[in-house]
Copies of this chain bind each other. A is one copy, B any other.
Amino acid sequence: MSEDRCHLEFAVDRLGDCSFESPINGVRFISNGDHVLYHSSMEDIQPYLDSGRTPPCFEMAGPRERIYFDPAKIKAGIVTCGGLCPGLNDVIRAVVLSLCYHYGVHEVFGFRYGYEGLVNKYGHTPMRLTPDRVNEIHNQGGTILGSSRGPQDGSGMVDTLQEMGVEILFVVGGDGTLRGGHAIWEEAQRRGFKIAVIGIPKTIDNDICLVQTSFGFDTAVSEARRAITSAYTEAAGGRNGIGLVKLMGRESGFIAAFSALANDVVNFCLVPEVPFTVEVFLKALDDRLSERGHAVIVAAEGAGQDLIKGPRERDRSGNIKPGDIGSFLQGRIRDHYKKKGMDINLKYINPSYLIRSMPANARDSAFCLLLGQNAVHAGMAGRTNMVVGFWKNEFTHIPIPPAVAQRKRIDPEGWLWSAVLAATRQPDLR
C-alpha cells in the first residue's frame, strides 16, 4: 500500500522534512508507512478494493526515528480548555515528562486559564513547567493550569506564541478547542510561522468522532455509578421512592449508558440519541412503581431536548446549553402524581461537578500517560493541525477537521443500546 493513497482520507499535515535524529534509544520506531484501518471487517473494506481505492486508515502514532525539531532549541507550550475532566493533570504531566526526559527539551510553558492565557489582555503569566513541578500533579483532580471556555482572537494568540518562540503547542480540549487550534495553525500558516499544533481530545462524554475512547470517561462512569447507587438507596428508602440522576452528555449518552450497564439498579436510561414521549415514560413509571414500589431514572443532560420548551442559552464556549432535563422531568413527575393523588418521594441528584473533578483512576491515568507521550512524538516529528486518536486499540494521528466534523453518538440499534435495554428492561418509550 502506498502511503500517499491513505492520505486521501486522513492525511496529516507536516511542517517539513525531518532533519534531526531522535535521541530516544531502545524502542522500535514507527515507520511513516504504519497505518491503522478505519474499518474492522472485510465486508466494509471490499468495496474499496473492488474500486481500486485504498481503504481509509489512520497514520499510526508513536516515536519516529527522524524528527523535525531540534530538541536543544525547541520551546513548547500546553493549554487546557473547557470544563474539567479527570486526567487533565495526567496529560500535562505526560507531555512535560516526555518532552524533557525523552527529547531533552529545556523549556515548556503552561498557558493559564485556557486560551485566555494566550492573549495579552487578561494578563496571565505562563507557568514554567518542569518535571519537578508536574511530578505529583496527577494525584489531584482538575488542571493546575486552570481552564476557561470560549474562543480567543487567533491573531493575538499567534502573536504571543511567536513572541515567546513557542513552536509546539499542545491544546487539550473538546470540539471548540480543537477548532481554535485549527485557527491558530491557519493564522500561523498565513504568516509562514512553522508551528506544530497538536490536539489532545478531551471529552468526558466520549463523543469525539474517530476516537474510540477519550480520557476521563472511565473515571466518570465509576463516579456516576456511585451517584446512581445513592439514588437507588434513596428511592428504596421511601414509599414510592423515585431516584433521578442527571449525568453529563449533551449530544451523546455514553456515560448514562455505560453507567446503567455497570449497575443493576437503573430502570430508565434516557439519552439524546433515543427519543421518548413524556406520556409513555410516565405510564412506564406508573407500572414500575406499582410493581416494585420504587424506581431509578438516569438521564443524560441532552436527553429529551425536543420536549423542553423555551429559548436556549449558549455557554461561553458558544455551545447551545441544553434545556434542563432534570428540572423538566422533576416537574412532570410531580405534576403527574399530584394529579393522581399519589404521594411520591422524589430525590434528584446532579453529580456533574463531583464527577468531573475527580483524579483519574488507574486506567485513565495510564491512558493519559500514553496519550501525552504520543502527542509529544507527533509534535517533535513535525506533524501539525492534528489530534492524537485511539482506534482499534492503537494510538493514531487524525487531522483536526474530520475529528470535529461531527459527534460520536450511540447507535440506537447497536449492541450498546441493546445491552442497556436488556439491563434496564425499560420498554420502548416513544
Contacts and interface: CB of A to CB of B under 8 A. Distances in A.
Contact of A233 (B27, B40, B141, B227): B141
Contacts of A230: 141, 353-354, 357-358
Interface in A295-338: none
Given A40-B36, A42-B1, A357-B233, A28 B414 contact: yes
A63 to B, nearest CB: 7
B222 A362 contact: yes
A113 B349 contact: no
A259 interface: yes
A138 interface: yes
A236 B146 contact: yes
A259 B42 CA distance: 36
Interface in A39-58: 40-43, 45-46, 49, 54-55, 57
B37 A264 contact: no
A41 B46 contact: no
Contacts of A394: 40
A239 B361 contact: no
Given A57-B42, A421-B26, A222 B361 contact: yes
A113 B363 contact: no
B42 A34 contact: no
Interface in A378-430: 392-395, 413-415, 418-419, 421-423, 425, 428
Interface string A335-350: 0000000000001010
Contacts of A122: 239
Given A40-B393, A146-B239, 4 more contacts: A41-B60, A122-B239, A221-B362, A226-B354
B57 A142 contact: no
Given A41-B34, A392-B392, A262 B362 contact: yes
B57 A41 contact: yes
A62 interface: yes
Interface string A266-296: 0000000000000000000000000000000
B42 A422 contact: no
A369 B34 contact: no
B261 A366 contact: yes
A365 B146 contact: no
A370 B414 CA distance: 13
Given A27-B413, A40-B392, A362-B222, A136 B354 contact: no
A369 B35 contact: no
Contacts of A224: 362
Interface of A: 1, 6, 26-28, 33-37, 40-43, 45-46, 49, 54-55, 57, 60, 62-63, 84, 93, 97-98, 101-102, 113, 116, 122, 124, 135-136, 138-143, 146-148, 212, 218, 221-222, 224-227, 229-231, 233-234, 236-239, 241, 258-259, 261-264, 347, 349, 351, 353-354, 357-358, 361-363, 365-366, 369-370, 373, 392-395, 413-415, 418-419, 421-423, 425, 428
Nearest to A31: B43
Nearest to A116: B239
B261 A370 contact: yes
Nearest to A41: B35
Given A34-B41, A370-B419, A373-B419, A353 B362 contact: no
18 contacts: A26-B418, A27-B415, A27-B421, A40-B392, A40-B393, A42-B55, A49-B49, A113-B239, A116-B239, A122-B239, A140-B233, A143-B237, A146-B237, A148-B239, A222-B362, A231-B357, A354-B354, A373-B422
A52 to B, nearest CB: 13
A142 B258 CA distance: 23
Given A113-B238, A238-B146, A413 B28 contact: yes
